[in-house]
Amino acid sequence: MGCINLVYEQARRWFVANWDPSMSVAAWWRLLAESGWGYPHWPVSRFGKGLTHQDHMEVERARSTVGAFGVPNDVGVTLVAPILMQYGDELLLDRYLETIATGQEMWCQLFSEPDAGSDLAGLMTVAERDGDRWIINGSKVWTTGGHASRRAVLMARTDPKADRHAGISFFIIDMKQPGVSVSPLKDMTGDEEFNQVSLTNAEANSDDIIGGLGEGWRIAMTMLQHERDADAVGHDGGGDVINQVDLDAPVGKVQRDQEKGGAPSGFFYATGSVKDDVTFSLIERIASSQNPILRDSVTRAKIQRTILDLNARRELHPSVGKLLNSALCRELRDLGFVAGPASQFADGDAIDGGHFLKSALFASGMSIAGGTDEIQRNIIGERALNLPREPAVEPKTDRREG
């Protein structure tokens, strides 16, 4: 008989004793946060238990075994909280961490810009100091969940004369202020999870800068490492990464609604192990497991999933995990289509409510979000393997005489 993991057993007992589907979402998320079992690898003084990330995975396994709802699944939990704990001061932690941990406020990130493309350092959004506040003007695009978010982290140029990587700072801003305008962008899944955000004399407090002036690039690169971790805390948790959950609703009802399909978007079905479950469920219901080619493809996908689990234990570079996750999304997309026409129906016409089709349509986007596959390969080569940097492309100059 194998040894029982003590952390797993302690967590399982807590979930058995405390999981109550009749509680409101707000009450359950607060109980999870205050118990430390929602974020066990966070510091003890900050809603955690000070455990390792591997122990956190055991806690998640225990939660899944009991069938309890997880922590909020949004940018606040997956990206902002780790950054605050690494770079934020006590003021920022006291001001924001509780509302993040208990799911009271959704967050988004304002990084990409319409004229910058994949060149994040080419951002043109400018923040100008005015006493104890900053006035921000610019435009951001591909903002996931911007329409439902109360707060955002934002990259803005605070020193236009500095080097393109140096004069950038990392702000926290209120998305509901008059200077912020959010316009939805519909993707081919039919969802409007992305937004374009216009900032016209928007304001941010001077004490809402994370890490200090000019440190925005370094902090953003750290946040992107967290974003590339498809199995980070929260990615497979509770709630919906796009739409605000009804905090007053019974948590068991919200959980059942999401399991049936409900509001989740293509992004939800293409993150973490959710995409695996969606695809394998469809295959088991329709496709014949006697087909040797199909069996081989399923086996290959499950091997990729196992390798990704190694990444979740921090045994691989984050960019390797990001590449593997993108590849797995495409593998599962192609695999699911063996079900034939049934896999191509949407919404109520599909036997699975259209879950697989949303995941399949979003699969290509996973090779772009959080940094393209090409960028991940450069990061692995240059930062992990210490290979020579890719030659820079010199800008063309007009040599014609005036």
Q: Is the confidence at residue 28, as pLDDT, over 80?
A: yes
CA distance 250 to 256: 10
Sequence-distant (≥ 6) Cβ neighbours of residue 230 within 8 angstroms: 271, 272, 308, 311, 321, 322, 325
**304's tokens:** 């990729």
Amino acid 242: pLDDT: 56
Given this model, what pLDDT does residue 401 score? 38
Q: What is the pLDDT of residues 355-374, one digit of tens each?
A: 888 888 888 888 887 778 88
The pLDDT of residue 159: 94
For residue 106, is pLDDT > 50? yes
pLDDT confidence band for 38 (50 / 70 / 90) = very high
Which domains does the chain carry?
A: 105-223 (2.40.110.10), 270-384 (1.20.140.10)
Residue 335 vs residue 268, higher pLDDT: 335
Check residue 37 and give its pLDDT: 97
Q: How far is CA 181 from each of CA 69, 111, 134, rounded to the nearest angstrom?
A: 33, 15, 18
325-347 pLDDT, tens digit per residue, is: 888 888 888 888 887 787 888 87
Res. 268: pLDDT tops 80? no
